[in-house]
Amino acid sequence: SLESAVRRGDASASSCRRFSSDSTPERKVAILGAAGGIGQPLALLMKLNPLVSSLALYDIAGTPGVAADVSHINTRAEVAGYAGDEQLGKALEGSDVVIIPAGVPRKPGMTRDDLFNINAGIVKSLCTAISKYCPNAVVNMISNPVNSTVPIASEVFKKAGTYNERRLFGVTTLDVVRAKTFYAGKAKVPVAGVNVPVVGGHAGITILPLFSQATPASNDLSDEDIKALTKRTQDGGTEVVEAKAGKGSATLSMAYAGAIFADACLKGLNGVPDVVECSFVQSSITELPFFASKVRLGKNGVEEVLGLGPLSDFEKEGLEKLKPELKASIEKGIKFAQEN
């Protein structure tokens, strides 16, 4: 019956056939940590994305409820919830994109690196499962510290013999989202048209927004303004952690940023040309093995890691300053994966 079809989330059985079934390929997206502060709104946003045909929501607990709730939304994606280790394989099987916001968030006074011990283990076990159940999936790593969790993932995949550097991404989109918002406010330009590349890594001073390349360009911003914008972008996460006063870190803006980045990955996989986003990926544009910069996305994941472009003196200085910290975080991740 129609009712049972709808209960199954089978929109194509309704009188109005799903609009995109002919032109848009089937794409399965899995969210690991889907019952969390980021996971839930991210599940909502991915359910709204017409490029998604199947949405798997996995967490250690709580996902049946989130999945039942989100599944009632009358959009294309069929939603299923999976809870606990024994269901992880089923959640991952056939996934084109796996988004990982699993782990613990920061509390006031904590750095992203303070999360290392707990989240490193979680990321390692989830990536081990990915290499087993969907080794070709594009992985979007949100769990912090991204500067270390991405290298951990790469080592896990290397050990399993499934590593493909074009398919592993650290999600730094929230830094870009923040840079755009703060720049638009200061430069008094409409935010919708603003672009700001953010390079480096995803923690404190390793986050380097390139306001000299911001568009539309603004002649009204002083060096002091740029310094303040840079600092606010770097400390954006801490601003939220402090405002939430012990109740976690950015979840809603992060879910938005995660949804934007996953959408870009899906567009790339579907062959949409000229999809460019900043992301923390394996890179040779500096001497560091991983680095965030503009990346062109395509059918294979990373099609091209784009260079940094011309930097201001202030940005050049920031780039040199961030390298030792980023290098140490990368090495910490690699060491963890090799020793555990």
Say if residues 104 and 133 touch (Cβ distance below 8 Å).
no
Nearer to ligand NAI, 202 or 232 (CB): 202
* Candidate residues 13, 44, 104, 276; the one interacting with ligand NAI per rule CB under 6 A: 104
Residue that has been written with the tokens 């959408």 in this structure: 263
Which residue is closest to ligand NAI by CB?
A: 36
Instruction: Check the annotation: does 12 bind a ligand.
Output: no
Is 202 a catalytic site residue? Answer: yes
Say if residues 50 and 75 touch (Cβ distance below 8 Å).
yes
Instruction: Check the annotation: does 59 bind a ligand.
Output: yes
Which of 28, 76, 124, 202 is catalytic? The answer is 202
* Candidate residues 9, 36, 151, 197; the one interacting with ligand NAI per rule CB under 6 A: 36
Under the binding rule (CB under 6 A), the answer on residue 32 touching ligand NAI is yes
Instruction: Check the annotation: does 318 bind a ligand.
Output: no
Look up residue 74 and give its DSSP letter: -
Can you give the length of the chain in residues? Answer: 340
* Candidate residues 11, 102, 187, 226; the one interacting with ligand NAI per rule CB under 6 A: 102
Under the binding rule (CB under 6 A), the answer on residue 33 touching ligand NAI is yes
Task: Assign 31 to helix, strand or coil.
Answer: strand
* Candidate residues 9, 41, 81, 105; the one interacting with ligand NAI per rule CB under 6 A: 105
Closest CA to 109 of 18, 209, 238: 238
Largest CA-CA distance found in the chain, in angstroms, rounded: 67
Say if residues 140 and 114 touch (Cβ distance below 8 Å).
no
Instruction: Check the annotation: does 254 bind a ligand.
Output: yes
Angle ∠(53,124,137) on CA atoms, nearest 5: 25
Half-sphere exposure of 90 (CA within 13 A, CB side): 12
Under the binding rule (CB under 6 A), the answer on residue 56 touching ligand NAI is no
d(C-alpha 91, C-alpha 118), whole Å: 22
Under the binding rule (CB under 6 A), the answer on residue 144 touching ligand NAI is yes
In one-letter notation, the amino acid at residue 49 is N
Under the binding rule (CB under 6 A), the answer on residue 201 touching ligand NAI is no
Under the binding rule (CB under 6 A), the answer on residue 64 touching ligand NAI is no
Say if residues 298 and 274 touch (Cβ distance below 8 Å).
no
Say if residues 232 and 180 touch (Cβ distance below 8 Å).
no
d(C-alpha 256, C-alpha 48), whole Å: 12
Closest CA to 78 of 23, 135, 130, 21: 21
Partnered with residue 11 across adjacent β-strands are none
Q: How far is CA 216 from the centre of its chain?
A: 25
Instruction: Check the annotation: does 144 bind a ligand.
Output: yes
Distances (CA, A) of 51 to 15, 122, 166: 21, 28, 21
* Candidate residues 29, 66, 122, 281; the one interacting with ligand NAI per rule CB under 6 A: 122
Residue that has been written with the tokens 């995803």 in this structure: 202
Under the binding rule (CB under 6 A), the answer on residue 31 touching ligand NAI is no
Nearer to ligand NAI, 254 or 295 (CB): 254
* Candidate residues 53, 59, 76, 263; the one interacting with ligand NAI per rule CB under 6 A: 59
User: Which residues 147-176 are close enough to bind ligand NAI by CB under 6 A?
Assistant: 171, 174
Under the binding rule (CB under 6 A), the answer on residue 248 touching ligand NAI is yes
d(C-alpha 173, C-alpha 265), whole Å: 12
* Candidate residues 13, 44, 48, 60; the one interacting with ligand NAI per rule CB under 6 A: 60
* Candidate residues 11, 29, 30, 35; the one interacting with ligand NAI per rule CB under 6 A: 35
Binding range to ligand NAI, per CB under 6 A, among 8-16, 150-158, 221-229, 245-253: 245-253
Residue that has been written with the tokens 């999976």 in this structure: 82
Under the binding rule (CB under 6 A), the answer on residue 146 touching ligand NAI is yes
Residue numbers in the known binding site are 33-39, 59, 106, 112, 119, 142-144, 178, 254
The site for ligand NAI (CB under 6 A) is made up of 32-33, 35-39, 59-60, 101-106, 115, 119, 122, 125-126, 142-144, 146, 171, 174, 202, 248-251, 254
Residue numbers in the known binding site for NAD(+) are 33-39, 59, 119, 142-144, 254
Catalytic residue numbers read: 202
